Amino acid sequence: MCEDPQLATADWWYTLRIPAQPWMIGIVRSSLRLALQQHGRLDLADTACLLVTELVTNGVVHTKSPVTVDLSCRSRVLRVDVHDTSPEVPARVNAGWEDESGRGLTLIDSCARAWGVRPAAQGPGKAVWFTLH
C-alpha cells in the first residue's frame, strides 16, 4: 500500500493508444498496474487488470484497429474507458460451459462498481467503460 496518504487520494489520468496487436494487451495491463502502484491504489490492480484485458481484447479482436485506453482516478474512483472504432454496442451472450468466449460482460458486470457504453466523442466508434472504488 502507499506510504503517502495524499498520493492515494490525488487525481490523475493517462491515455494509452495501442495498435490492433494481441501482444499489446499485456502492455496495457502492465501500464495500468504500474499506474495504480505509483498512485497508491494497488488494491484495485487485480480486478482492474482483469477487466481491462476483457475490454481491450474485445476491441482488438473485433475491430482489428487501434484501441485507446483512458485511465483516470478522481476522488478515489478509478475509471477505465476503452475506445474502439466499431459502432456496435457489445451484447451479453449466454455462454455454455464449454464455450471459450462470451463471458466478458458478465465478468465486468460482476466485478465493476459501474459500467456502460457511450458513443465516441469524435469520429466513429464507442467507448466501453467501468469504474472501481
> Where are the domains positioned within the chain?
5-132
What amino acid occupies position 29? R
Task: Tell me how far apart the alpha carbons of residues 16 and 81 are, in angstroms, rounded to a whole number.
Answer: 10
Residue 5 confidence (pLDDT)? 55
Residue 99 confidence (pLDDT)? 76
Task: Tell me how far apart the alpha carbons of residues 25 and 70 are, in angstroms, rounded to a whole number.
Answer: 14
What parts of the chain have a pLDDT lower than 70? 1-9
Which H or E element spans position 14? strand 12-18
Task: Tell me how far apart the alpha carbons of residues 42 and 40 are, in angstroms, rounded to a whole number.
Answer: 6
Residue 4 confidence (pLDDT)? 52
Alpha helices in the chain (DSSP H): 5-9, 24-38, 45-63, 104-111
Residue 3 confidence (pLDDT)? 45
74 forms beta bridges with 77
Output phi, psi for 130, to 5 deg: -145, 160
CATH number 3.20.20.70 given to 5-132: no
Mean pLDDT (the chain, rounded):
91
Task: Tell me how far apart the alpha carbons of residues 49 and 43 are, in angstroms, rounded to a whole number.
Answer: 11
Residue 92 confidence (pLDDT)? 84
Q: Which three cell numbers stand for residue 103?
A: 463471458
Residue 95 confidence (pLDDT)? 81
What amino acid occupies position 73? C
